[in-house]
Every structure is written in structure tokens, then in C-alpha cells.
């Protein structure tokens, strides 16, 4: 990896947070992921996403799912969770979703990445996390990770780390006096908040924006204990591995290909 420079904890968190988040987003929104759900018997829509992602919580009522994940609105969560209930039990849906995570990783993680080293460092972070008040992360951490599929396991660990930051951010948002809906509007705007299931969200006042920025800082601080378990060298290596692993997924290579029309 060349010369390694000292990487402070918050610098490492800042370097990996966005790539891990966005790589997970691409998985969740990919038609290939939806196709896994369709083959499993889910109807088009949000059933596979909701039942699969939140299935690690077990058979819980809609308000529990809403409270645990926070940021998605009830107009998305309620119909998705209820639609998926008739297809398969929550535990089976989570296992199916994990398979989709792994399959997507095998397609989209570049072949030249040292996934074995990434897996060692990522698992060290995951094991170090305190899961109190982070039930969705705790559920995914407890879900079995394949021992014979290092690339699929790498993608599942990305997903678990993404769930950790999302859960920490929900805690931080509430600590700063914001609702999850307000945080979504500040971060993405009213139209995107509607897209993510919030009915008639109103614009928030500018006075709330500093609270959201403070929540971002608190989120970094909540994640910091994980990264204290890595040495300076390991933090640098981890940031480099995340950058390489998420830099050029297959969907991006295809979109940039001269032989393929631009995708929407």
C-alpha cells in the first residue's frame, strides 16, 4: 500500500463514512437486489427491502420497526413491512436479504482488493462496538457471516458498519433535539423526504440546521471507540481498503462504458 501516514481516529471516520454509506445505498437501490426479492416471492415494491433489512428485529409490530430505524417514514415502512409478512417469516427474510448483500458484493467489489485484510479490520471494528441502544446494528452483527465467501462477507460487513453509523446517527439526532423527520428534511429536502415515506413533511427553519450539524459531529464521536481499537497504521490501511473497495463497482464501470448507454 506504499508509505503509510498517521491517520487520526476522526480523520479515518470522515474518510470511510460516505463511501460505506453510498456503497450500501447502491446495493439497496439496485435492480439486481430487487430481483432477488422477486425470485423469493416478494411483490414489486418495498416488501423485500423492509422485511429483509429489518427482519433481524424478529416478528415485531410496525411501530417498533418505525422506532428502531427512525429515518424512513411510516408511508414506506408500514406497507413494506406488512406486505412482506405474508411472504416469509422475518428471520428467513433477513437471511434472504443477507444473501442479496453477498451476491451484490461478489459482482461489485473489484477483484484486486485484499478482502481478507479488510474483513479482519472490519470485524475488529464490529466486535468492538457497544450495541446498547443500537438494536438494528445488534441484529445485523448477530447475523451469520459466511466463512467460505470472503468477498460476500466483506459486503456484509460493509452493511453492518453502515447500520452502526445509521443507528448512531439516529441517537445523535434525537440527542440534539431533532426528530428523524426533521433530520431527513434538512439532509435531503422535502421532496426526498416524501420519497422516503414521510407524509406532507414541512420545511424546517434555518435555526435547526446547526443542530443537525452537531448531530453529525456526535455521530462521529459515537463511532470513535471502534476506531481506537485499530493502530494508526491499521486505520490508514482500512481507509485505503474502503476507498478501493467502493471506488469502482460494476454498476459504475458499466455506466462509464462506451458500449453501454447512460443509465438513469
Mean pLDDT of 156-162: 98
Residue 250: pLDDT band by 50, 70, 90 thresholds?
A: low
Q: How many domains is the chain built from?
A: 1
pLDDT at 63: 97
Q: Once rounded to an integer, what is the mean pLDDT over residues 202-229?
A: 96
Burial 60-93 (b: 16+ CB within 10 A, else e): bebeebbebbbbbbebbbbbbbebbbebbebeeb
221 burial via Cβ count (<10 Å: 0-12, 13-18, 19+): middle
Q: How far apart are CA 102 and CA 100, in angstroms?
A: 5
90-108 and 31-39 helices, crossing angle to 10°? 140
Residue 252 lies in a domain: no
Q: Does residue 236 lie in a domain region?
A: yes
CA 223 to chain centre: 14
Say if residue 50's pLDDT is above 90.
Answer: yes
User: How many CB atoms are located within 10 Å of the residue 134 CB?
Assistant: 21
pLDDT above 90 (res 260): no
Residue pointed to by grid coordinates 460493509 = 158
Does a structural domain hold residue 119? yes
Average pLDDT, stretch 68-92? 96
Rounded Cα–Cα distance for residues 187 and 189 (Å): 6
Q: What is the pLDDT of residue 257?
A: 37
User: Per-residue pLDDT for 259 more than 80?
Assistant: no
C-alpha cell recorded at residue 246: 467502493
pLDDT value at 230 more than 90: yes
127 pLDDT more than 60: yes
Q: For residues 48 and 20, what is the distance between their CA atoms, to the nearest angstrom? A: 21
Phi-psi region of 260 (alpha: psi -120 to 50; beta: other; left: phi over 0): beta
Domain for residue 78, yes or no? Answer: yes
DSSP letter assigned to residue 133: T
Query: How far from each other are the two terminal CA atoms of the chain, in whole angstroms?
Result: 35
The DSSP code sequence of 29-98 is H-HHHHHHHHHTTPPSSSHHHHHHHSGGG-S--HHHHHHHH-SS-HHHHHHHHHHHHTTS-HHHHHHHHH
Q: What phi and psi, each to the nearest 5 degrees, are found at residue 92?
A: -70, -40
Which comes out higher in pLDDT, residue 260 or 162? 162
Closest CA to 193 of 74, 78, 73: 73
Supply the pLDDT for residue 143. 97
Distance between CA atoms of 144 and 114, rounded to whole angstroms? Answer: 21
Mean pLDDT score across all residues of the chain: 92
Domain that holds residue 26: 9-246
HSE, side-chain direction, 13 A CA sphere, residue 172: 21
pLDDT at position 253 is: 44
Instruction: Report the C-alpha gap between 130 and 153 in whole angstroms.
Output: 21
pTM for the predicted model, two decimal places: 0.91
Tell me how many helices (H) and strands (E) the chain has.
14, 0
Residue 99 falls within a domain, yes or no?
yes
Structure confidence by residue, pLDDT tens digits, 93-121: 999 999 999 999 999 999 999 999 999 99
- 134: in domain: yes
Is 133 a domain residue?
yes
254 part of a folded domain: no
Report the pLDDT averaged over residues 242-253: 73
More confidently predicted of 200 and 215: 215
Amino acid at each position: 500500500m506504499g508509505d503509510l501516514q498517521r491517520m487520526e481516529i476522526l480523520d479515518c471516520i470522515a474518510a470511510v463514512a460516505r463511501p460505506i454509506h453510498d456503497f450500501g445505498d447502491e446495493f439497496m437501490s439496485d435492480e439486481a437486489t430487487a430481483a432477488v426479492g422477486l425470485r423469493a416471492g416478494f411483490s414489486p415494491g418495498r416488501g423485500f427491502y423492509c422485511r429483509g433489512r429489518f427482519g433481524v428485529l424478529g416478528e415485531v409490530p410496525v411501530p417498533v420497526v418505525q422506532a428502531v430505524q427512525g429515518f424512513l417514514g411510516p408511508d414506506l415502512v408500514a406497507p413494506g413491512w406488512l406486505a412482506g409478512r405474508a411472504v416469509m417469516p422475518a428471520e428467513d427474510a433477513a437471511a434472504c436479504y443477507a444473501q442479496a448483500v453477498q451476491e451484490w458484493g461478489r459482482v461489485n467489489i473489484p477483484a484486486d482488493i485484499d478482502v481478507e485484510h479488510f474483513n479482519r479490520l472490519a470485524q475488529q471494528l464490529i466486535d468492538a462496538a457497544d450495541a446498547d441502544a443500537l438494536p438494528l446494528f445488534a441484529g445485523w452483527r448477530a447475523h451469520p457471516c459466511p466463512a467460505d465467501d470472503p468477498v460476500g462477507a466483506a459486503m456484509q460487513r460493509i452493511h453492518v458498519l453502515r447500520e452502526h453509523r445509521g443507528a448512531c446517527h439516529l441517537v445523535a439526532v434525537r440527542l440534539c433535539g431533532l426528530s428523524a423527520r426533521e433530520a431527513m428534511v434538512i439532509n435531503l429536502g422535502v421532496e426526498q423526504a416524501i420519497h422516503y415515506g414521510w407524509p406532507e413533511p414541512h420545511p424546517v427553519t434555518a435555526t435547526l440546521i446547526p443542530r443537525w450539524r452537531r448531530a453529525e459531529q456526535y455521530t462521529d464521536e459515537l463511532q470513535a471507540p471502534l476506531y481506537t481499537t485499530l493502530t494508526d497504521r491499521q486505520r490508514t490501511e482500512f481507509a485505503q481498503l474502503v476507498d478501493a473497495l467502493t471506488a469502482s463497482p460494476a454498476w459504475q464501470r458499466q455506466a462509464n462504458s462506451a458500449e453501454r448507454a447512460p443509465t438513469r
